[in-house]
Structure formats: C-alpha cells, structure tokens
C-alpha cells in the first residue's frame, strides 16, 4: 500500500519533493502544508523585481496552488502553520490561519522543508518602519512600494553577501545611492580576500560606497530619515535600510520534536536526507549536509542543492534508495557589469582545516581578443599538491564566468586534476572562447607549478619579503606603470630588455618578477632561472595584487 506523505513547506524543497513523489507514485496520498500564500516562487528573483529588471510580479510565481493541485493531484493547504510534531503518534498539529482552527494530520512519512529566515539582530531601531528584510514576495512588495512611492535618495544595505550585493545593484538601478555596511573586511564571504577585492573595486566604480569592517550598532530616526551607527564610529544617513546579514535555519519545529540538531541549529540528516527519526526527512536551507570536498559538516542555502535533496528525500520516503553525496556550494552573483562565482573549497577554509593545497591565478579573455567585446576574467584554482586534484575555484569577470565555473564544478565532482584541465576539449569560436579556453589556461599554469616549470609567489607573501635579499622587478611597459602604478620598492625592467640587463643583476639576490597578470612574469622567470638566477613569479601579477591590497578608503 502506498504511504501517506506529508510535506511541510513549499518552494525549492517542498514543492519539488511533492512533484517528485507524485511522479513516482500515482496512488500515494500527498499533503503539502505551506504557511504563506505561495507554494513555489522565484525567491532568487526578488531583488530584480525591486529593481524593475523583472517588471511583472506574476513572473516570480513558478506555479500557483491551483495549477499545482490540478497537475499533481496533491492536497495543498496554504496559510497553514505546523506548530507541533507528535512522533509517537506520527501526526502533526496544524493551525489554519483563515479559520483560526487547530487540528491534527497523520502521516506515514514526513518531509520537512522549513527553509531559513533572515537574521534580524536585536539592534536598537531594527523594527523601525523603513527597515526591511528580503525573503518572500510580500517582503519584496513592501520594499518596492516604498521605493516607488517615497522615491528615496539613499539606502544602506547591511551585509555584503549575495543578496546584499544584488539589492545594492537593484537599488542603484532605481537611482538610490547605496552604501553596503559589512562587518567583515570583504564582501562575498565565500570568496577569498583578493578575489573579493576585484568585486569591491567594481562596486565603487558603479557608485556604491563600501563600509567594510563595520558592524551595525544601532538604527535611529533622524529628521524623517534614518541614521545607521556602526561600531567603528561611522554615522550614515539614509532613507531606508535593507538587512541582508544572513539567514538562520528554521529548525524550531524539529528541535521541539526531539530531532537531532547540529551545532549551528541545522537539522542533521544522513545521505538519504533522513533525520534521526527514520520516518522524517528534511531538505533545503534548514539541514546540515556534507561538504563534497572537505567531508566536513556544512550548510548551503542554495536552490540547486535544495532541489536535489528534495528529489532524494521523496525517493527514499516512497521506498526507493537515493543518496545525496554532498554539496560544492557552486554559486554565482551578478554585480552590475561583472559576475563573481565560486565552487568547491576556498583557500581560507582549507587553511582553517590545516589541509595541504596550492593555488594558481590566471587572467584570461572571455573570448578571442580580436573579436569585439572580449573582457578579462580572473580565475583562482585551489588544488592538491602532487596529484593536482582540483579542490575549488573562483572566477571574477564579465562574460563567460558562468560557463567556466560550471566546467570547473563538473571537474571537481568528477575528481579531475589540473592536468585534466589542460586536456579538456571545449567549444571554440571567436565570439565565445579562444583556442586555449580560460579553463585550459588555468590548467596549464597550475600544472606548470606542479611540474616544476614555474615557481610562484602569492600576493600576501610580499609583505614577508626581505629587502636585503628580495628584489622586485616590474616587467611591464612604462605606459602601464604610468596608468596603473606599481608595487612600492620595485625596479623597472621591461620584459623585452631583461636578457640584456642580466649582466647588471646581482646573482646573490632573489628576484620577484611581476607583470600585469602573470604571463610575462612566467616568461621572465624562465629566462632568469635558465641563466642561473634565483627567481619567482608573482601569481596573477599586478591585477591580483591590486585585488588583495586595497586603498584604505574602502575599509570605511
């Protein structure tokens, strides 16, 4: 006999699980409980609705309860809040908001998809009228209505994560001067510091002010506006505040039911998405899962993993055997004219775990340089010494970032190495790529390091250089130095003059070579070591150095 399946929560997790379950079993009784009005909507599109990039509100609705009910023959109950799980009797307590009635519903299998809620810290002024969070369609309605009607001139976005940056862009698109206040010393915490620096430079180019290293202490009304006060003594006047500090798992229901909870409040599940109760599964932003690369417990608040987990939970709830093998955290965000993307483990995580790794940097054009519109993309690879197994990647650039991060995510999932990246045969035509794709180039550079053909130094190690022994040489042209500057203390020897200058150089010294992106530095390195000099190349060149070493004004 088919089991009765009850699903708590909709959107990416719950609605996907319901649809999958129906496709697997036409006779199963399936009940979907949703506390709000919408069972499936594009929450990732909410900032773009505020910014009028998405003009029609209905375009955010993936499906309506009526359409979903007709197609899948599922008992959908909206405006219904689950208040208790009785595991002994295998039933849940539901409060019907419309009728203000409380009743019990039995289940054979239960799937929890409660999601996560925006963090609203207990700050003074956090409940003021013009202070918003963004999680649901009603949230976006309130923000958009305020911008439409009040026509604010300035805003503060608290938090520099994915949603924070999307909100900053879309408010700017509406003509609202925006400041991002971020407690960390960088935006986009999943990226490493120097890669985030490239994003920060672009934000400032677009008129977004950054107050990094600033935690919000209070919000207060001031002359009909708001003032945001930070722990660094800054006071920022604005017309509205959008809190984008992060999310916390909505796991109270599971906790009160006695299900096992992780240290950060997430519901613990196994690879089948089963909780500590064999008849209860959990998916989405509220669960603790395994990091595919490190094997460590983690949580990933992304729609892609939630969808996959939902399918797996539905399979197992209906008697199939499916496993979730962990998440890479592959993600991408649009930041005005740029994109920033990440997959797998970043350097700072591996450093914290004391794992062995190496990194490489490349800056390649998105497509053939002779075809109009080519733009540079910075690629950072993180890989294992010796084997070269790919552990993670980050890309910041313009066109083509999405394609390359997806190739690299696939490579990590397949257990591929940087040597494999050298051999990948990827599509090429001048409008789309080059004969040597940026992924190939990244593989070449990383493989050269492992083969001993290159010796690279990272930007942050320059602070440890010994002036008595280390000499920095800028291999770029004078016009590049005049336009962009150079690293303090370096001497200038253009690459094409390097061979002729070798007799003038001291062989007892070590030479730190750099150019714009690392290519000329690599050529200079090969020249010097084959002529008996000690040399290293600055990985990623001056471009990566600039991402890591930023002007003081950016810290607020």
Catalytic residue ranges? 44
Compute CA distances 274 → 199, 268, 277, 322, 433, whole Å: 39, 8, 7, 11, 44
**Residue closest to 311 by CA, chosen among 105, 7, 45:** 7
Strand order in the sheet with 216-222: 216-222, 225-230, 235-238
What kind and span of H or E run contains 16?
helix 11-24
Strands 61-63 and 177-182: unpaired
Burial 240-249 (b: 16+ CB within 10 A, else e): bbbbbbebbb
Rounded CA separation 339/341 (Å): 7
DSSP letter string, 423-445: H------TTT--SS-HHHHHHHH
Angle between helices 541-548 and 193-205 (to 10 degrees): 80
Any idea which residue has 């932003």 for tokens? 285
Rounded CA separation 486/492 (Å): 9
Compute CA distances 50 → 46, 143, 156, 158, whole Å: 7, 7, 15, 17
**Residue closest to 411 by CA, chosen among 437, 382, 391:** 391
What kind and span of H or E run contains 147?
helix 137-150
CB 14 within 8 A of CB 39: yes
Strand partners, 344: 392
Strand order in the sheet with 287-290: 267-268, 287-290, 297-298
**What is the Cα Rg of the chain in Å?**
26
CB 421 within 8 A of CB 443: yes
Angle, vertex CA 261, rays to CA 259 and CA 264, nearest 5: 160
């Amino acid at each position: 006999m088919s089991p009765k399946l009850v699903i708590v929560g909709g959107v990416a997790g719950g609605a996907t699980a319901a649809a999958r379950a129906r496709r697997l079993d036409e006779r199963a009784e399936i009940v979907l409980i949703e506390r709000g009005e919408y069972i499936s909507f594009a929450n990732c599109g909410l900032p773009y609705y505020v910014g009028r990039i998405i003009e029609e509100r209905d375009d955010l609705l993936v499906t309506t309860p009526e359409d979903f009910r007709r197609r899948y023959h599922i008992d959908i109950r909206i405006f219904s809040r689950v208040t208790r799980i009785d595991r002994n009797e295998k039933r849940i307590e539901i409060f019907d908001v419309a009728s203000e009635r409380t009743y019990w519903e039995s289940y054979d299998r239960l799937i929890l998809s409660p999601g996560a809620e925006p963090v609203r810290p207990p700050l003074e002024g956090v409940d003021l009228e013009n202070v918003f969070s963004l999680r649901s369609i009603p949230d976006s309605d309130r923000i958009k209505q305020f911008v439409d009607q009040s026509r604010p001139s300035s805003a503060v976005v608290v938090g520099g994560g994915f949603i924070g940056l999307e909100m900053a862009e879309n408010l700017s698109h509406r003509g609202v001067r925006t400041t991002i206040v971020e407690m960390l010393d960088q935006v986009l915490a999943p990226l490493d510091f120097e890669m985030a620096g490239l994003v920060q430079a672009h934000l400032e180019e677009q008129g977004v002010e950054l107050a990094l290293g600033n935690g919000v202490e209070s919000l207060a009304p001031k002359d009909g506006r708001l003032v945001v006060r930070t722990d660094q003594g800054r006071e920022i006047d604005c017309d509205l505040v959008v809190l984008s500090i992060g999310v916390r798992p909505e796991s109270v229901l599971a906790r009160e039911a006695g299900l096992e909870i992780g240290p950060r409040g997430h519901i613990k599940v196994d690879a089948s998405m089963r909780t500590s109760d064999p008849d209860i599964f959990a998916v989405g932003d509220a669960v603790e899962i395994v990091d595919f690369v490190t094997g460590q417990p983690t949580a990933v608040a992304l729609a892609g993993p939630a969808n996959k987990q939902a399918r797996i939970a539905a399979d197992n709830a209906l008697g199939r055997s499916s496993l979730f093998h962990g998440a890479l955290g592959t993600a991408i965000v649009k930041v005005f004219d740029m994109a920033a993307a990440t997959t797998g483990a970043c350097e700072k995580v591996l450093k914290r775990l004391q794992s062995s790794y190496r990194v490489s940097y490349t800056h390649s054009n998105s497509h053939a340089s002779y075809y109009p519109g080519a733009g540079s993309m910075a690629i950072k690879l993180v890989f294992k010494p010796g084997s070269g197994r790919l552990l993670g990647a980050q890309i910041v650039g313009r066109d083509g970032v999405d394609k390359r991060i997806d190739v690299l995510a696939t490579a990590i999932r397949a257990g591929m190495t940087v040597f494999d990246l050298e051999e990948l045969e990827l599509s090429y035509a001048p409008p789309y790529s080059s004969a040597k794709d940026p992924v190939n180039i990244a593989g070449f550079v990383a493989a050269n390091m492992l083969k001993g053909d290159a010796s690279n130094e990272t930007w942050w190690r320059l602070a440890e250089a010994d002036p008595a022994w280390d000499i920095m040489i800028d291999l770029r042209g004078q016009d590049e130095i005049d336009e962009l500057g150079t690293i303090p203390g370096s001497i200038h020897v253009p690459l094409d003059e390097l061979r002729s200058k070798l007799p003038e150089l001291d062989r007892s010294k070590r030479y730190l070579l750099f150019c714009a992106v690392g290519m000329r530095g690599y050529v200079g390195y090969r020249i010097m070591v084959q002529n008996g000099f000690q040399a290293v190349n600055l990985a990623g060149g001056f471009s990566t150095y600039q991402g890591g070493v930023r002007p003081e004004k950016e810290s607020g």
